[in-house]
Amino acid sequence: MVLRGIPCMLMRGGTSKGVFFKKEDLPEDHRLWDEIILKIFGSGDPLQIDGLGGSRVNSSKVMIVWKSEREGIDVDYLFGQVGIEKRFIDWTGNCGNLTAAVGCFAIEAGLVKPIEPVTTVRMYNVNTSKRVDALIPVKDMQIIYEGDYMIDGVPNPGSRIDLVWYDPGGATTGKLLPTGNSRDIIKVEGRELEISIVDSANPAVFVRAEDVGLKGVELPNHIDKKTLEKLEIIRSKAAKLCGFVKREEEAILKSPHFPYIVVIGSRQDYITVQGKHIRREDYTILARLFSLQQMHHAYPVTGAISTASAAKIPGTIVNELAEDRGEIVLIGHPKGVIDVKIRMKQFGHQTIIESATVGRTARKLMSGITYYL
């Protein structure tokens, strides 16, 4: 067999990293995509040593982008969460962090013409059928990647890219509250447990830290196998309630990525992974998010939008434990704080999320040809 090559870019968006392709550079037969991408990433090996995958959930991601034919939209994009040890690609949701790089890729790849001083790239996420705008600073027809804006989880500053999610509710299930309830009761290990399920940008199930034997300030290396197993049981039950699977036992195979499961704790001081002291006054909700049976090293943007939305919905567990500071929700996570601006309307007992805005940084890391056998 001979090596075959495809043009691509490796880009960081927020606290995630992924491989970007123009749709036209991939085979016309979409059925071939999964196998080609899995080979390119080196999936089936925990180190992904024979490919471009980064051996972690936040760095084993793919984006496929193309010029849109939709009115008022510049580009469509499709996100895939690429399996690491297991050879699968989850195409069911979106990655908010990596979305920060989609607009940059569209400009770099010639799909969108840059306009000074800010280019608004109007994007349509095919996974969730939602519009996201990226506001990208531009000078001399080039993206300004340099800047002084810092986000927790990235060691170097960059220029701020605002991402605006429009009408993010019901991105996957069609409903902001997939079960119709702000809280549901499930049985875990013989006892009743309260949960809240919210679908905003991506679906997430929320549980109190104390109800699963945690404090809420834990870091990724603090979580034992027994706790992860209990969280997966809760997540699997939520997946069934969302309609992703018929039987909860199927969730780990058929819906391993969504819903996220988020542990919500009472606000308190804590120390981050890097040893930074976060005061309870620095944030409005304490959260730890788990994806693919691992605690996220920071916080995914779509998870942040879902968490911030839940904080604004009366009756949810998140709303119960959150401090209200108006439109801004500050989420305390293992590497610091992420802020989300939520615009909402209340119609009687119904909450509508009009938009969610998150500031990120992004940059191009590499462009060239990736090869596979």
pLDDT, tens only, 311-352:
999 999 999 999 999 999 999 999 999 999 999 998 877 889
CATH superfamily label, 184-351 = Diaminopimelate Epimerase; Chain A, domain 1 (3.10.310.10)
**pLDDT at 1 > cutoff 90:** no
| Nearest by Cα to 294 from 232, 361, 215, 363 | 232
Compute the average pLDDT of residues 75-92: 94
Q: Taking the domains of the chain in order of start, what are their residue ranges?
A: 4-169+361-372, 184-351
CA 247 – CA 85 distance, rounded (Å): 24
Bridge partners for 120 per DSSP: 135
CA 77 – CA 99 distance, rounded (Å): 9
Compute the average pLDDT of residues 83-110: 95
Radius of gyration for the chain, computed over Cα atoms and rounded to the nearest angstrom: 20
Residue 293: predicted pLDDT: 87
Is the backbone of residue 70 left (phi > 0), alpha (psi -120 to 50) or beta? beta
Residue 349: predicted pLDDT: 79
Residue 323: predicted pLDDT: 97
Quote the distance between the C-alpha of residue 231 and its chain's center.
Answer: 19
**pLDDT at 223 > cutoff 80:** yes
Residue 175 · residue 243 · CB < 8 Å: no
Q: What is the pLDDT of residues 242-289, one digit of tens each?
A: 999 999 999 998 898 899 999 999 999 999 999 999 999 999 999 999
Do the domains at 4-169+361-372 and 184-351 have one common CATH topology? yes
Residue 289 · residue 260 · CB < 8 Å: yes
Phi, psi dihedrals of residue 207, rounded to the nearest 5°: -140, 145
Compute the average pLDDT of residues 113-122: 97
CA 344 – CA 360 distance, rounded (Å): 22
Strand 4-13 versus strand 16-22 pairing type: antiparallel
| Nearest by Cα to 288 from 321, 342, 335 | 335
CA 285 – CA 299 distance, rounded (Å): 13
**pLDDT at 92 > cutoff 90:** no
Compute the average pLDDT of residues 105-133: 97
Residue 331 · residue 152 · CB < 8 Å: no
For every residue of 134-163, which 3-state class applies, written as one string? EEEEEECCEECCCCCECCCCCCCCECCEEE
CA 286 – CA 182 distance, rounded (Å): 19
- What tokens appear for 259 in the block? 């819903």
**pLDDT at 49 > cutoff 90:** yes
Residue 342 · residue 353 · CB < 8 Å: yes
Residue 131 · residue 168 · CB < 8 Å: no
Q: 229 burial class (0-12, 13-18, 19+ CB within 10 angstroms)?
A: exposed
pTM: 0.90
Compute the average pLDDT of residues 78-107: 95
Percentage of the chain with pLDDT > 70? 100
Residue 93: predicted pLDDT: 86
Residue 350: predicted pLDDT: 86
Who's near 274: CB < 8 A, 6+ residues apart?
Answer: 335
CA 4 – CA 179 distance, rounded (Å): 47
Q: What is the pLDDT of residues 162-188, one digit of tens each?
A: 999 999 999 999 999 999 999 999 999
Class of domain 4-169+361-372 (CATH, top level): alpha beta
